[in-house]
């Protein structure tokens, strides 16, 4: 029986939903973010605001939410070549991946999360990777996660579970999951406080939240919201009652 978890928390929709998943399930939850030279600091600015909002608006979860950790990973920007860390335009690469792909990023994140979980005595690492409605990053795939779980458990000589609550659901179902975990208050918090946009835009407010509305991350978030909103509250209620 696992009681403690470390959530990879970027301040976006997916990782905030994962945080709620962990808070609903585990007695002690800590969070981990990375400063890897993102082009936009907005992600790092949003993280503590989301955590404060969760503490303020979900009194049952607040006592479970422990320390937040931020690790610096300059090495990713040193590797270069990604539009996430350099001022180059978004484009598709010849291999079919968007140039937002930072090779090895999630592998490094998970390795460091495993090391921190070891130090902090946390049993489960929760990450919002998804193979259903995603940009095709190979380090988000289920097989990659299972291989990392095995590698870390062996390399640390301690059983470490990598949990991926969003792996097999699309973005509309991610909104529904938030609704079933924390009701409309959590959906509102995610819309208003989280950040997903690759362009770091916090000036345009849409029904689904803040963002440029044009980049691939905004596109996924907006399309998911659209399908979620069309299905209406009936779908969310159905999911809640089935839990
Ligand atoms: Zn955007």
CA 218 to centroid of ligand 1, rounded, Å = 4
The rounded distance, in Å, linking the Cα atoms of 140 and 29 is 22
CA 48 to centroid of ligand 1, rounded, Å = 21
pLDDT, averaged in runs of 10, over the chain (243 residues): 96 96 98 87 92 98 98 85 68 73 87 98 96 78 96 97 96 96 98 93 96 92 95 57 44
Q: Which fold has domain 4-196?
A: Rossmann fold (3.40.50)
Domain map (residue ranges) of the chain: 4-196
Tell me what pLDDT residue 234 has. Answer: 53
CA 144 to centroid of ligand 1, rounded, Å = 27
CA 128 to centroid of ligand 1, rounded, Å = 19
Tell me what pLDDT residue 36 has. Answer: 85
Per-residue HEC secondary structure of the chain comes to CCCEEEEECCCCHHHHHHHHHHHHHCCEEEEEEEECCCCCCHHHHHHHHHHHHHHHHCCCCHHHEEEEEEEECCHHHHHCCCCCCCCCCCCECCCCCECCCCCCHHHHHHHHHHHHHHHHCCCEEECCCCCCCCCCCHHHCHHHHHHHHHHHHHHHCCCCEEECCCCCCCHHHHHHHHHHHHHHHHHHHHHHHCCCCCCCCCCCEECCEECCCCCHHHHHHHHHHHHHHHHHHHHHHHHHHHC
Query: Residue for token digits 């994140």?
Result: 109
CA 113 to centroid of ligand 1, rounded, Å = 27
Tell me what pLDDT residue 242 has. Answer: 44
Give the alpha-carbon dihedral of 25, 235, 226, 199, to 10 degrees.
0
CA 89 to centroid of ligand 1, rounded, Å = 13
Q: Residues lining ligand 1 (ion), CB within 5 A? A: 197, 199, 211-212, 215, 218
> Could you give the angle at which helices 216-242 and 171-193 cross, rounded to 10 degrees?
110
Tell me what pLDDT residue 39 has. Answer: 73
What are the residues facing 192 on neighbouring strands? none
Tell me what pLDDT residue 241 has. Answer: 45
Tell me what pLDDT residue 243 has. Answer: 43
CA 234 to centroid of ligand 1, rounded, Å = 29
Phi, psi of 206 (to 5 degrees): -115, 175
CA 215 to centroid of ligand 1, rounded, Å = 4
Phi, psi of 36 (to 5 degrees): -115, 30
CA 221 to centroid of ligand 1, rounded, Å = 9
What are the residues facing 29 on neighbouring strands? 5, 65
Q: Tens of pLDDT along 129-158?
A: 998 866 678 888 999 999 999 999 999 999
The whole-model pTM stands at: 0.89
Query: Residue for token digits 């390795």?
Result: 111
Q: Tens of pLDDT along 40-80?
A: 788 889 999 999 999 999 999 999 999 999 999 888 888 87
Tell me what pLDDT residue 27 has. Answer: 98
């Amino acid at each position: 029986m696992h009681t403690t978890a470390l959530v990879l928390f970027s301040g976006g929709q997916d990782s905030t939903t994962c945080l709620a998943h962990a808070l609903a399930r585990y007695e002690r939850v800590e969070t981990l973010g990375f400063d890897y030279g993102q082009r936009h600091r907005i992600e790092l600015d949003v993280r503590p605001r989301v955590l404060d909002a969760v503490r303020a608006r979900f009194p049952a979860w607040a006592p479970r939410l422990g320390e937040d950790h931020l690790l610096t990973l300059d090495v990713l920007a040193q590797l270069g070549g990604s539009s996430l860390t350099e001022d180059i335009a978004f484009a598709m690469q010849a291999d079919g991946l968007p140039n937002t792909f930072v090779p090895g990023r999630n592998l490094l994140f998970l390795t460091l999360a495993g090391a921190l979980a070891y130090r902090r005595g946390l049993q489960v690492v929760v990450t919002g990777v998804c193979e259903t409605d995603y940009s095709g990053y190979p380090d988000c795939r289920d097989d990659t996660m299972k291989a990392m779980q095995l590698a870390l458990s062996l390399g640390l000589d301690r059983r470490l579970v990598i949990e991926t609550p969003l792996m097999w659901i699309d973005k509309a179902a991610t909104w529904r999951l938030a609704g079933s975990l924390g009701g409309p208050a959590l959906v509102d918090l995610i819309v208003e406080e989280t950040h997903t946009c690759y362009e770091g835009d916090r000036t345009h407010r849409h029904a689904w939240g803040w963002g440029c509305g044009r980049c691939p991350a905004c596109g996924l978030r907006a399309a998911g919201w659209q399908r979620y909103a069309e299905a209406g509250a009936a779908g969310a209620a159905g999911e809640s009652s089935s839990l």
